[in-house]
Chain A
Amino acid sequence: EAEVAQSPRYKITEKSQAVAFWCDPISGHATLYWYRQILGQGPELLVQFQDESVVDDSQLPKDRFSAERLKGVDSTLKIQPAELGDSAMYLCASSTRLAKNIQYFGAGTRLSVL
Chain B
Amino acid sequence: GESVGLHLPTLSVQEGDNSIINCAYSNSASDYFIWYKQESGKGPQFIIDIRSNMDKRQGQRVTVLLNKTVKHLSLQIAATQPGDSAVYFCAENTSGTYKYIFGTGTRLKVLA
Which residue numbers of A lie inside 8 Å of B, CB to CB? 4, 31, 37, 39-45, 48, 50, 55-56, 91, 93, 95, 99-100, 102-108, 110
Least Cβ distance of A55 to chain B in Å?
Answer: 7
Q: Is the CB of A99 within 8 A of B97?
A: yes
Which residue numbers of B lie inside 8 Å of A, CB to CB? 2-8, 32, 34, 36, 41-46, 49, 51, 89, 91, 93, 95-105
Q: Is the CB of A40 within 8 A of B43?
A: no
Contact of B46 among A44, A45, A104 (CB under 8 A): A104
Q: Is the CB of B98 within 8 A of A48?
A: yes
**Whole-angstrom distance between the alpha carbons of A40 and B8 in the complex?**
6
Task: List B contacts of A102 (CB < 8 A).
Answer: 34, 46, 49
Least Cβ distance of A96 to chain B in Å?
Answer: 11
Least Cβ distance of A27 to chain B in Å?
Answer: 18
Q: A93-B43, A99-B98 are in contact. Are A40 and B7 (CB under 8 A)?
A: yes
